[in-house]
Chains A and B, each alone.
Chain A
Amino acid sequence: MTDATHGTAEPAEPRRRKASLYASDAHTRRRNAAEKRFRAYGIAAIAIGLFFLLVLLVTIVRNGTPAFTQTFVTIEVALPADKLDKSGNRDIEEMKKVSTFGYAPLVDDALAEALAQAGIETPFANAKDLRQIVSASVAAQVRDAVLADPALVGTSHEFRLLAASRVDGYMKGRVTRESVARDKNISAEHLDIVDQMIAAGLVERRFNPGFVFGADASESRPESAGIGVSMLGSFFMMLVVLALALPIGVAASIYLEEFATQNRFTDLIEVNISNLAAVPSIVFGILGLAVFIQFAHLPSSAPIVGGLVLTLMTLPTIIISTRASLKAVPPSIREAALGVGASKMQTVFHHVLPLAMPGILTGTIIGLAQALGETAPLLLIGMVGFIASNAPASFADGFLAPNSAMPAQIYEWAKRADPAYYERAWGGIIILLVFLMVMNIIAIILRRRFERRW
């Protein structure tokens, strides 16, 4: 310890501060200020993160809720027999020959009549010019009603007709008189009429079930577009994912966790699973396009293809969470079962698996929620750009017939030029998020209820 004795020879006293503990020196004050600043940065970071979340949610709710209501025009439409059923015998086949072009003038006249009754003056000489107030789909709506109930012919019936998207936009503040100045779809005069119709109670905004349950519509009729059919597309995709990913994921996890010995093959699987979890989702889309559509000739845009792609994407998530739940079952359970003479397979299937089930289900639901919101791979297998206008005719069609899916539908709407579709895209997001929230809440409840502490 020569160096220690050498060390004590040096004078240490001058550097030692003999100041009182009660007085804090300038240096310490500076350090404490730095401490406060640092802490403030942390709080600021969290506040910014939460602020972004809040902004995101407020934006979604504010922009999306209007999509759930729609403007309707309620008028009495006369359905003269001489125009709709010339033969007079109410033969459906005969009546089908009258196309929507035959019905459109009836609606025009009904509108003019309703305005006259309410004492609203119109600057338009021709009743046909009033047509721009209602949706282009109303003639079809009236026709469908008549064909469903031929007895209506010859009577007057009150219809609640969809208003045109511009009128709806006017009601929601999206369309103003300035903005329609160069719009050929509607004019300021129409808006004046609408104002008076509101006063007369002919026009009102109300909840629109068509948005939640209906089908997508063409580019020019945002007012009648709905997300219902693509919701079915998502539903069938999720069925495929659930039916494939859960059993395959659980089987793979059981093998890796309970049976596999450490060797090259198992290592290869492990490496593959952890890497697949990080592969960008778009790459799975390329895989789906090349393997399922080009190679296996499955129908493009079909939910079954989407489901297969999402299955491959979700598998790593499910395998990782299932393995964690299997690992959480204590070895004593296995030993107890093996000890009474059960085979390894019986031990796993009779004891370990049931105990791990809540955890497995939680992981599966979270994986499904991820898959439900995934968009990018669907773009490549043709589920975007397909206008989901018809609900699948049968259960098999649900898997095989071309369809869209909720996130793909939202993307499709976001791409369309009419701002009325943006509102629908936000509205679609609300529905999508509600689904995700419900799934996550179920997962949390499952975890809380059945979580076992060993």
Chain B
Amino acid sequence: MKDNMEGRKLVDQMDVKFQTRDVQVYYGDTHAIKDVNVDILDKTVTAFIGPSGCGKSTFLRSLNRMNDTIPIARVEGKILLDGEDIYDPKVDPVQLRAKVGMVFQKPNPFPKSIYDNIAYGPRIHGLARNKAELDDIVEHSLRRGALWDEVKDRLQEPGTGLSGGQQQRLCIARAVATEPEVLLMDEPCSALDPIATAQVEELIDELKQNFSVVIVTHSMQQAARVSQKTAFFHLGNLVEYGDTDQIFTNPVDPRTESYITGRIG
């Protein structure tokens, strides 16, 4: 297939962060993800699109083993991060999640101050040697989250007091603070208004300079705006994966085309 050929070419040129091979995810008796093979690149925004219930969020959550918290979920196949199998028994999911951060659909700031929200990750992972370093990390992360100017005078106020868009940027800054290598975002803008969405999208664009970003989104416009690579999921299958421009202008699979043009979804 043509897009696979292109993908392989890209692999030679750029760093591959995640490689997944024949990944299956089961929820109890439901086979939610079937045979997914995908290479996710470093310093790139990859979008997962597809109709609701297609398994894109499930697949995203299996990339940092968030599915472990659901007792009935089961993952088979290989998911390699920098060539290491993240489901290997030797791997501690806690360490994995420090490397692969996650931002959720609804902003979920902890009921703590803005400062403590950001400092939470660095504290549990022991990233700062002293208060000054922690202050640095907090400031740095809030700047990366494009929130510093708005909150620098009220770092001790509760994070739950911010507006929805600010809360979501706080959550992104919080994820960035642990210095992850990959950032997974599960429909990060679905609970936000258009202005806040625009701010977050701008932020995602900035983040790709340092991270590999994977974003699940319902909105094809958003996928087209922020991502370089797009994967289209349908009924648990990865239907098509390639450059975003190609997927949106010249899809190979008829199902992709139907979805893009709004016939299924």
Contacts and interface: CB of A to CB of B under 8 A. Distances in A.
Interface of A: 1-8, 10, 12, 15-17, 20-22, 24-25, 27-28, 31-32
Contact of B144 (A7, A21, A25, A32): A7
A22 B94 contact: no
A1 B92 contact: no
A4 B146 contact: yes
Nearest to B81: A21
Given A4-B146, A4-B203, 4 more contacts: A3-B142, A3-B143, A4-B206, A6-B143
B5 to A, nearest CB: 30
A28 B202 contact: no
A328 B246 CA distance: 55
Given A1-B202, A21-B84, A15 B91 contact: no
Given A1-B146, A3-B149, A21 B209 contact: no
Contacts of A6: 143
A337 B91 CA distance: 62
Interface stretch (B44-52, B119-127, B212-220): B119-127
B90 interface: yes
B88 A22 contact: yes
B99 interface: yes
A1 B203 contact: yes
Interface centre among B142, B146, B209, by most A CB within 10 Å?
B146
A8 B210 contact: yes
11 contacts: A1-B206, A2-B149, A3-B143, A3-B149, A8-B209, A12-B210, A15-B137, A21-B81, A21-B91, A27-B126, A31-B124
A21 B97 CA distance: 10
A4 B143 contact: yes
A15 B179 contact: yes
Contact of A16 (B91, B179, B202): B179
B181 interface: yes
A32 B92 contact: yes
B149 A5 contact: no
Given A16-B179, A16-B181, A31-B124, A4 B95 contact: no
B75 interface: no
Interface string B84-106: 10101011101110010000000
A150 B149 CA distance: 108
Contacts of B90: 21-22, 24
A20 B80 CA distance: 12
A11 B125 CA distance: 19
Contacts of B202: 1, 4
B91 A22 contact: yes
A15 B126 CA distance: 11
Interface string B130-166: 0000000100111111111100000000000000000
B95 A21 contact: yes
Interface in B197-240: 202-203, 206, 209-210
Contact of A20 (B84, B126, B140): B84
A324 to B, nearest CB: 30
A7 B91 contact: no
A12 B179 contact: yes
A18 to B, nearest CB: 9
Contacts of B147: 3
Contacts of B124: 31
Contacts of B206: 1, 4-5, 8
Contacts of B203: 1, 4
A357 B254 CA distance: 59
A40 B88 CA distance: 26
A21 B179 contact: no
Contacts of B210: 8, 12
A228 B206 CA distance: 83
A25 B90 CA distance: 12
B192 to A, nearest CB: 16
Nearest to B146: A4
Contacts of A22: 84, 88, 90-91
A8 B181 contact: no
Nearest to B125: A27
Interface in B150-202: 179, 181, 202
A3 B94 contact: no
Contact of A28 (B94, B141, B179, B181): B94
Nearest to A27: B126
B218 to A, nearest CB: 24
Nearest to A1: B146
A4 B181 contact: no
A8 B206 CA distance: 8
B143 A7 contact: yes
Nearest to B98: A17
A21 B202 CA distance: 31
Please provide the 3 A-B residue pairs with the shortest distance between their CB atoms, ordered closest to farther: A7-B143, A7-B144, A3-B143
